[in-house]
Amino acid sequence: MLKIAMIGLGWWGSTIIKCLQESNIVEIYAAVDIDEKRGTFICSKYNLRYYKNIEDALGDINVDAVIIATAHGLHEEMFISSLKANKHIFCEKPFALSSKAAKRMIAGAESKGIIIGIGHERRYEGALEELKRVVDSGKLGTLLHLEFNASYNLMVNAPPTGWRKDPREAPAGMMTALGVHQTDFMQTLAGPVKSLNSQLIKRSDDFPNEDVLTIQFNFKSGISGSLTSLATTPFYQRMTVFGDRGWIENREISNVDVSDPARLMWCAIDNEIHTRTFKVTNTVRANIDSWASAVMGNGPYRFSNQEILHNVEILEAIVSSISSGKEIIIK
């Protein structure tokens, strides 16, 4: 068992602990949170060792690795501290808020042989695994266009002064923390992004910041793409892939706290429409278990460091395009 220290016990850090209770590979052994009341409560609930600061947790010889689930702007600091303690690191997304920071973090990990895990658990959803299998099989022919839509109203009722609504922590709105799942899956299908153009506007009175983000992508493979990310509409996700011999579409209204199945539909050149539903599975555990297995030398991890970096480059380009109003080329 890989013994883990959880860094950050907010909503998502607590959710990760809950998701890992039945893991046979990792054990959440300790947790760190600056809020002593919250930290002691959660650690008592799950029988964990509580630390108020990361240095004490990293000094615990029983800790093999860490999971970083703090505010986005703290990821690099927590990551570098963990590297110095020679701990393997699973970091929530976004990995970093700038490509320079991401490169520093990855270079440090590679110099020490540290395996990086990343919180893009949606790659482990059954419907998306099947979608990728169909695309990779060539049944859709030459890929032409990706059309993704995602809405998340999880933060509508969050405290207005909380860090998730702080433009410095969420410079691309809800895209920063949640829409990055879509851009991550886009690159698994179409490869690296060549350029993009994005626009962020405010439409709803239910959200203090801009809430509608639209992005147009040009991939190096020649495929085009579009993504809409909404901050106030109830949870909904649609991913459609178009080829010259067919299309495939995933629709879901399920998140970690909503147990509704995903629906996958596809149509090839014979014009016959196929439909399949997929039960909700614990993708958080699947992702972290896969990373932990790689740490212990039991197989490869699904994410490369280059993909982790490129996700940050995409996010950085989106933010740059929003502020400049121009198309941004990713070199």
For residue range 161-172, list pLDDT tens digits in order.
666 667 777 777
How do the domains of the chain map onto residue ranges? 2-114, 125-329
Dist CA 103 CA 306 (whole Å):
10
Element (H, E) at 75: helix 75-84
Dist CA 271 CA 289 (whole Å):
39
Q: Would you give the DSSP letter of residue 111? A: H
2-114 and 125-329 agree in CATH topology: no
Residue with tokens 């040009």: 218
pTM, 2 dp: 0.93
pLDDT at 312 (0 to 100): 96
**CB-neighbour burial class of residue 89 (10 A; exposed 0-12, middle 13-18, buried 19+):** buried
Residue with tokens 């004490």: 56
Cα torsion angle, 135, 141, 146, 147, sign: negative
Q: What is the pLDDT of residues 235-279, one digit of tens each?
A: 888 999 999 999 999 998 655 555 678 899 999 888 899 999 998
The class (CATH top level) of 125-329 is alpha beta
Mean pLDDT across 23-44: 97
Share the mean pLDDT of the chain.
Answer: 92
- In CATH, which of 3.30.1330.10, 3.40.50.300, 3.40.50.2300, 3.40.50.720 is domain 2-114? 3.40.50.720
Mean pLDDT across 54-80: 96
Q: What is the pLDDT of residues 273-300, one digit of tens each?
A: 999 999 888 999 999 999 999 999 999 9
